[in-house]
Amino acid sequence: MRLDKLLSDMQVGTRSEIKKYIKAGLVTVNGGAASPQLKVGPEDTVTFRGKEISHRPLEYFMLYKPGDCVTARRDNFHKSVMDFIEDGRKDLSPVGRLDLDTTGLLLITNDGKLAHALLSPKKHVKKLYEARVKGRVTQEDVLKFESGVDIGDDTLTKPAQLNILQAGEESLVQISITEGRYHQVKRMFLAVGKEVLTLKRLAMGELALDESLAPGECRRLTEEEVAILKKSEEVLC
């Protein structure tokens, strides 16, 4: 891997900062000076400001989060999403939070930079959910969600796309939001007088939940999926 890519993956700085650090001699490879294009591998010792930079690879997992499991590192009462990941991994974190009873796509990674970008409201990355809702969801709700609803915060919610799949005493909908406010989807439906009965995340950016996974199953993202995720973050900013 190129030295500048390794330093960027390890979040030492932006590409241009890294270039400056290398030029200023703050980065060494095996005790000597280096250039941004230099190829480095796990056998090389890379330091920044005298501290060794590890070659920890960036890893990405997709978990089909089951219900009754918390999006936290550990919990005294419930299973944690981290219980579904390989043992002893302290460097991985879930990307954002899903409620205890929300199921579906949860990313888990040690790529803090990507996680931050995917969650930043400025990047407008879409999160797509499927919800079963008590009561008849109407076109009026679609329009309200499009123009933003008051869920009791300082500002209205950003425009959300609501797609009614079935409407009746109980409705089935898909909803796409670009923010991640606390209990956002549930509060948006409450704001129009309806209750979310079940909620499942189907996609984040262009990355869809692999429906061949069973709830509680987890797998590594493929290289293509990682590229798709990174594109969601870049294109939509």
Choose the binding region for ligand URA from 26-34, 35-43, 97-105, 216-224 (rule: CB under 6 A): 97-105
In terms of C-beta density within 10 A (0-12 exposed, 13-18 middle, 19 or more buried), how is residue 208 classed? middle
Verify binding: residue 151, ligand URA, rule CB under 6 A: no
DSSP state of 120: -
* Minimum CB distance to ligand URA, residue 69 (Å): 12
Q: Which x/- pattern over 49-88 shows residues binding ligand URA (rule: CB under 6 A)?
A: ----------------------------------------
Instruction: Specify the residue, 19 or 124, whose C-beta has the smaller distance to ligand URA.
Output: 124
Among 93, 109, 171, 184, binds ligand URA (CB under 6 A): 184
d(CA 169, CA 72): 35
CA distances from 229 to 25, 46, 75, 117, 205 (A): 34, 28, 29, 10, 7
Under rule CB under 6 A, residue 185 binds ligand URA: yes
99 classed as catalytic: yes
| Contacts (Cβ under 8 Å, ≥6 apart) of 26 | 48, 49
Is there binding between residue 95 and ligand URA (CB under 6 A)?
A: no
For ligand URA, which stretch binds (CB under 6 A), given 87-95, 109-117, 144-152, 178-186? 178-186
- For position 194 contacting ligand URA by CB under 6 A, the verdict is no
The pairing of beta strand 218-220 with beta strand 60-65: antiparallel
d(CA 130, CA 109) in angstroms, rounded, equals: 24
How far apart CA 153 and CA 170 sit, in angstroms, is 27
Active-site residue among 9, 44, 75, 99?
A: 99
Q: Does 157 bind ligand URA (CB under 6 A)?
A: no
Alpha carbon of 169 to those of 141, 144, 172, 194, 205: distances in Å? 15, 20, 10, 11, 31
Which residues are catalytically annotated?
99
List residues near ligand URA by CB under 6 A. 98-99, 102, 183-186, 199
